[in-house]
A and B are shown apart, each in its own frame.
Chain A
Amino acid sequence: MELKKTQTKAFSNLIASIVLLAFELWAWIQSGKIKTAKNAAVQPSTFPRIMIIGMTIFTVVLLIQSIIKLSSMKAGDPLAAKAESLNFIKDKGVLSALIVILLCCVYVYFFKSLGYVVVSALLSGIVMWMIGLRKPAPLLLVSTLVPLGVWLVFYKFLSVNIPMGVLQFLRDLVDKI
């Protein structure tokens, strides 16, 4: 099997360590914006900074390990195995994962206005359809009854007030019963 070095786990570690170093630099700059406390033995920014330094040290270790591995890669090395891809054009699996993430973001956005039951029915219905449940009856039943049942348990028995949005009348109905 022929593999490009850029497809190996060692290369993905290299990219990850560069991304992490950028994050750590950003976090360090942000930690400088934390206000100081008077007469404090330990400033509010001390602990986060210790954590950033710790994270950076091991990111550098990972970076060096990746560079050494890439320059002297041998057969049998676990880091020579093929890395997972994030290419959503070539990999349908990645594309579907990104769609689920996007759907979750839409879910959060409409959670309050449409209400839990509606957004959950839509989200679970679409995900079920995506992963192969195409029979309309089980798809519709499961995607609507599960969120409805869960809402009922949380609202009636656990007293958790969940946004119902357009289905507000259901709460009034349950309250009357």
Chain B
Amino acid sequence: MDWNLLFSSYSNVFLDPTVLLMTLLGAVGGVLLGAIPGMTATMGVALLIPFSFGMDLIPSVGLLLGIYCGGMYGGSISAILIHAPGTPSAAATLLDGYPMAQKGEAGKALSVAMFSSFCGGVIGALIMTFLSPLVAKVAMKFTSAEMLMLAVFGLSVIISISGKSIAKGLISAFFGMLLCTIGLDPTYSKQRFTFGVTSLKGGLSFIPVLIGLFAVAEVIAGVERIIAGRESAQAKSTEKITRVLPDGKTIKQIWPNILSGGIIGTFIGAIPGAGGDIAVFVSYAFNKGVSKNPEKWGTGIPNGVAATESANNGCSGGAMIPLLSLGVPGDSVTAILLGAFIMKGIQPGPMMYVSELPTVYKVFAALMLANLAMLIVGCAGVRVFAKIVSLEKRMLYPIILVVSLLGAFSINKNVFDVGVCVAFGVIGWLMNKYEFPLSPILLALILGPMCEQNFVRFMDLNHGDFGQIIHYPIAIGFFVVAVGVVIYSLINQQKINKREKDALAKAGVGDVSFTQE
């Protein structure tokens, strides 16, 4: 590695006012876009790419990476505050982020999310700087077998996010996987469960389902609670935000989650076709699995937010690795970035490290800068964002409802999606009411298509012989770890249920007599 060139490239980028301004503008736009349910970082990058046409390469890359990194963090804001992830990559953040906000710790959750996003992004950028050719080599060894088992590993977390009833969690997960099969079959284009509805041919859009299950269902349940007198319409958060970054004690508590999340995110981001939405669940599964207190996960702890947020921002660095070293985009945003490079006359790929090394290093520096810009924007916004939860519920719920429904519409500009969103709002409300966990559906919706496509591809390549999987050591490794996670989660869940049962018996709940009908 040419250290002199690396340092001079970093200093050129960090001292260029145009790059600084563009990256900061990108981060502002990204955070705001990401925070709107239905608006993703990909949309933001696609929206702003025409503005970058007239710029030099590095300022335009800074602008686009600023949106990318800002959007990754922005998605967590709405996940934490209103139970509606702004982007699919923030889907797992609501598992602990929203309960933290409910406990009056919205500011803390936001600051942990922001700090973890920054650290995850920096980990991704560092790995990209020093290890990109090596990571790209391993990532490109991933065939359908490894991808299938990666999805299985991600799905192994279902048991641990199922809550009190594993049976209900698994029913939810299988239901979610079944929902993924609606539309044209990805291999042979045969219609499945479309019932002649044209809008269903493309399958259910993920964002409207997500918004419906979480945001709309929460509004319906909230109105029910207020009218039934179980919640105050005027409830206001009393949290005083004295600092915008987490304190030393919290950082000490979450740093292992940040570190592992960042590494997991970077590696998964480097695999073409796997992005932040998958990385967050794999990171959550891993961190919960190795935690000493797994029963606390999902109840609103900063570790859960840190594990997911560091993973999704780690992906930004990871996704750049195959783009720069192989010319293969790791996700949709880097696919757009590939277009930007080609427009500027630079062809990413192995030769880029030979012929365009200064540019490669400048891109590394731009990613680092984008993460720094995201941190600055996040710090400036934490107090403002946290104010949202201190709004009166009787104003907040209707506002969430109309913004969420518009978010569902904006994805495909299709009223059908608004209907889907409402339908899943009702399903989510009923599922919450009867204690069927929603998170396994979310996980299944993300990993289901990846699971099916790679299963079909693997079976086709191996003439229907699934036993051939034993010839794929990385896949077997993922499978073994997945089985380990499932066994560990089952034992753990039994312990949690026993502890809760004892606590309920002591409190006298269920101390009732029964009459026959």
A residues sitting closer than 8 Å to B (CB atoms) are 1-6, 8-9, 12-13, 16, 20, 27, 30-31, 34-37, 40-42, 44-45, 47-48, 51-52, 54-55, 58-59, 61-62, 65, 73-78, 80-81, 83-84, 86, 91-97, 100-101, 104-105, 107-108, 111-112, 116, 120, 123-125, 127-128, 130-133, 138, 142-143, 146-147, 150-151, 154, 158-163
Contacts of B171 in A (CB 8 A): 20, 55, 58-59, 62
Q: Are B402 and A3 in contact (CB under 8 A)?
A: no
Partner of B459, one of A30, A41, A97: A41
CA distance A42 to B453 in the complex (A): 11
B319 CB → nearest A CB, Å = 23
Best-surrounded residue of A75, A91, A123, A151 (most CB of chain B within 10 A): A75
Q: Are B513 and A2 in contact (CB under 8 A)?
A: yes
Contacts of B175 in A (CB 8 A): 51, 55
CA distance A76 to B505 in the complex (A): 4
B395 CB → nearest A CB, Å = 6
Cβ of B297 under 8 Å from chain A: no
B152 CB → nearest A CB, Å = 13
Cβ of B410 under 8 Å from chain A: yes
Q: Are A30 and B193 in contact (CB under 8 A)?
A: yes
Mark B418-439 against chain A: 1 for CB-CB distance below 8 A, else 0. Answer: 1100100110010001111000
Q: Are A162 and B422 in contact (CB under 8 A)?
A: no
Task: List the A residue with the shortest CB-CB distance to B497.
Answer: A78
Q: Are B433 and A84 in contact (CB under 8 A)?
A: yes
A41-B464, A51-B177 are contacts. A111–B185 as well, Cβ < 8 Å?
A: no
Best-surrounded residue of A16, A34, A81, A131 (most CB of chain B within 10 A): A131
Q: Are B219 and A73 in contact (CB under 8 A)?
A: no
Q: Are A127 and B398 in contact (CB under 8 A)?
A: yes
Q: Are A78 and B398 in contact (CB under 8 A)?
A: no
- The 7 lowest CB-CB distance pairs between A and B, nearest first, are A93-B228, A76-B505, A124-B398, A44-B185, A55-B174, A41-B464, A37-B188
Q: Are B510 and A52 in contact (CB under 8 A)?
A: no
Q: List 24 A-B contacts (CB under 8 A).
A: A2-B514, A42-B187, A44-B190, A45-B192, A48-B178, A48-B193, A51-B175, A55-B175, A55-B178, A58-B167, A62-B171, A75-B510, A77-B501, A78-B164, A86-B433, A91-B228, A95-B227, A97-B224, A123-B401, A131-B233, A133-B392, A160-B413, A161-B413, A162-B409
Contacts of B492 in A (CB 8 A): none
CA distance A3 to B47 in the complex (A): 58
Q: Are B47 and A158 in contact (CB under 8 A)?
A: yes
The A interface is mostly helix, strand or loop, or mixed, namely: helix
B residues sitting closer than 8 Å to A (CB atoms) are 33, 39, 43, 47, 164-165, 167-168, 170-171, 174-175, 177-178, 181, 185, 187-188, 190-193, 216, 219-221, 223-228, 230, 233, 392-395, 397-399, 401-403, 405-406, 409-410, 413, 415, 418-419, 422, 425-426, 429, 433-436, 452, 455-456, 459-460, 462-464, 500-501, 504-505, 509-517
Q: Are B181 and A48 in contact (CB under 8 A)?
A: yes
Task: List the A residue with the shortest CB-CB distance to B29.
Answer: A157
Question: What would 9 more interface pairs be, CB under 8 Å, given A1-B511, A131-B227?
Answer: A12-B434, A35-B191, A44-B188, A51-B177, A55-B174, A78-B510, A104-B425, A127-B397, A133-B395
